[in-house]
């Protein structure tokens, strides 16, 4: 097992264990710091969806930075157990774990920020794109990590981008 730290907010510098699982790539500290510089450090009033939660670090960062609600969706049972353990340790009452397939996730809530960091080379982004309107609140932003640059995803266009090693990361806004 490796470890990753929360980079900001009320739980800054807290370390999280990361299980070894196929396709699990926690977003590096430097990338998360860039993302939250783009978004702003205070997410008070935001509802966030971490659709392929994995290590949960993106969702936990959002909760640490004051998001009103954070939903972490994860299919892998081992990863779910680790997420539940972290949630209990961090005492984040506004965050919750949902077990299951990202494509089958149903919510009456709409989200202001959706994190999409799916396993690479499996076509997940193309599969998720048609579902985004049912999850996104008006003005919602997407944060997307991919193995290549992307210009758009559904009706969202890339407005900021960066690269760290093999990871291309993007902030997208609705057209």
pLDDT at 23 over 70: no
What total of structural domains would you count in the chain?
Answer: 1
pLDDT score recorded for residue 65: 96
Cross-strand pairs, 145: 169
pLDDT digits (tens, 9 = 90+) for 54-92: 999 999 999 999 999 999 999 999 999 999 999 999 999
pTM reported for the whole predicted model:
0.94
pLDDT digits (tens, 9 = 90+) for 94-108: 999 999 999 999 988
Cross-strand pairs, 97: 72
CATH of the domain at 23: 3.40.50.150
DSSP string across 98-158: EES-GGG---SS-EEEEEE-PPTTS-HHHHHGGGHHHHEEEEEEEEEEESS--SEETTEEE
pLDDT at 27 over 90: no
**Which of 21-25, 80-84, 118-122 has the least mean pLDDT?**
21-25
pLDDT at 1 over 70: no
Structural domain boundaries enclosing 113: 2-174
């Amino acid at each position: 097992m490796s470890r990753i730290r929360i980079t900001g907010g009320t739980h800054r510098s807290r370390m999280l264990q990361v299980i070894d699982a196929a396709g699990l790539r926690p977003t590096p500290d430097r990338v998360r710091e860039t993302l939250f510089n783009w978004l702003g450090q205070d997410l008070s009033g935001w509802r966030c969806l971490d659709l392929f939660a994995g290590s949960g670090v993106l969702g936990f960062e959002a909760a640490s930075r004051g998001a009103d609600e954070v939903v972490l969706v994860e299919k892998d049972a081992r990863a779910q157990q680790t997420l539940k353990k972290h949630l209990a340790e961090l005492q984040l009452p506004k965050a919750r774990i949902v077990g299951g397939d990202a494509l089958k996730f149903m919510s009456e809530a709409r989200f202001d920020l959706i994190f999409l960091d799916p396993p690479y080379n499996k076509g997940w982004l193309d599969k998720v794109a048609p579902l985004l309107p049912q999850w996104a609140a008006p003005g919602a932003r997407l944060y997307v990590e991919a193995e290549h640059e992307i210009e758009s995803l559904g009706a969202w266009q890339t407005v900021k981008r960066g690269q760290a090693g093999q990871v291309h990361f993007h902030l997208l806004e609705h057209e």
